[in-house]
Amino acid sequence: LVRIPYRIDRYSNNACCVYRAVQLLIKQSSEPELNTSTRPLCLADAQQAWKLARPGLMLASEQTIGSVVERYLKVGIYTRDQLLTDGLLTINELELCLTPTTKNMTEFKLRARVEHVYAEAERTLAFYDLCQPLIAAGDTSVLADLPHKLGELMNQSQESCAKLYECSCPALDELVNVCKSAGAIGSRLTGAGWGGCTVSLVPVADLTQFMHQIRRDFYEKRGLSDCEASQLVFISKPGPSAGVMLVD
């Protein structure tokens, strides 16, 4: 875990974009009545409305037609007026997710945000699927290629966070590149984005060189000493997920 040495204050309006996209996708499904639910809706609800088993299928094109997301969400920006005048959403639907912070939004990147969230959910499942043979049966035959496959998922995630969800920042993009140049198989931002930390997958044999290169190529140029940098870089081994322990 490698942290940038300062905080970047930016507010995300992505949740608002995603919520509006959920409303549009449900509206076009066979279960449009879900939009009348009194509970907050999410992209999993839209996936359920389209009766698709995995989130990635919302992005999967069929033989003659595009994916659900391609068909019903256009590339680029929706303006508030477009959503209303094209009959995509009513004024009540449009304002349902507005907060004091987002109430003045006039432009929404619905498709880009949705493509990221569905793809990220699919990558999470793919990460689990890759690890499962080792976890469930102790099958060590998967170990040869496993780190590189997991690292590629992490790299895809970072690219999506930066380009589609736009929750990275120049300092994080630079830090990810430094981490990969230093020997990380995969590296991505972690946390809420717009500052914070990266998490990297690094072979044990390369850790010493990795730590040295991170300090030299990222922290030194920002005037931080080795002692200060050591408070911002943490080594952690993979471990079991969260769970519940039952005791007598």
Predicted confidence (pLDDT) per residue in 68-79, tens digit: 999 999 999 999
In a domain, 52, yes or no: yes
Q: Domain span at residue 38?
A: 14-111
Which pLDDT value is given to residue 193? Answer: 64
Which pLDDT value is given to residue 94? Answer: 76
In a domain, 117, yes or no: no
More confident position, 134 or 208 = 208
Which pLDDT value is given to residue 218? Answer: 96
> SS in 3 state form for 42-69?
CHHHHHHHCCCCCHHHHHCCCCCCCCHH
Which pLDDT value is given to residue 221? Answer: 92
In a domain, 87, yes or no: yes
> CA quadruple 23, 27, 29, 35: dihedral positive or negative?
positive
Mean pLDDT confidence for 104-128: 94
pLDDT band of 210, cuts 50, 70, 90:
very high
pLDDT per position as a tens digit, 126-169? 999 998 887 666 667 767 889 999 999 999 999 999 999 999 98
Which pLDDT value is given to residue 16? Answer: 81
Q: Are strands 78-79 and 107-108 parallel, antiparallel or unpaired?
A: antiparallel
* Spatial CA neighbour of 2 closest among 245, 247, 241, 207: 207
Which pLDDT value is given to residue 117? Answer: 96
The mean of the pLDDT values for the chain is 88
In a domain, 162, yes or no: no
Residues 6+ positions from 218 with CB-CB distance below 8 Å: 2, 174, 175, 178
C-alpha–C-alpha distance, residues 23 and 40, integer Å: 11
In a domain, 221, yes or no: no
Considering its fold, how many domains does the chain have in total?
A: 1
pLDDT exceeds cutoff 60 at 11: no
Full DSSP string of the chain:
-EE-SS-------HHHHHHHHHHHHHHTSS-GGGGG-SSPP-HHHHHHHTT-SSGGGGG---SSS--HHHHHS-SS-EEHHHHHHTTSS-HHHHHTT--TTTTT--EE-HHHHHHHHHHHHHHHHHHHHHHHHHHHH--GGGGTTHHHHHHHHHHHHHHHHHHTS----HHHHHHHHHHHHTT-SEEEEESSSSSSEEEEE--GGGHHHHHHHHIIIIIGGGT--HHHHHTTB---------------
Lowest mean pLDDT among 32-36, 109-113, 184-188, 193-197: 193-197
pLDDT band of 211, cuts 50, 70, 90:
very high
pLDDT exceeds cutoff 80 at 64: no
Mean pLDDT confidence for 5-24: 75
Which pLDDT value is given to residue 98? Answer: 72
pLDDT per position as a tens digit, 23-57? 899 989 999 888 888 788 899 999 999 999 999 99
In a domain, 81, yes or no: yes
In a domain, 134, yes or no: no
Residue 5, CA distances (Å) to 104, 149, 154, 191, 193 in order: 32, 30, 22, 15, 14
C-alpha–C-alpha distance, residues 88 and 25, integer Å: 10
C-alpha–C-alpha distance, residues 203 and 147, integer Å: 9
Which pLDDT value is given to residue 191? Answer: 80
pTM of the model: 0.86
In a domain, 116, yes or no: no
pLDDT exceeds cutoff 70 at 119: yes
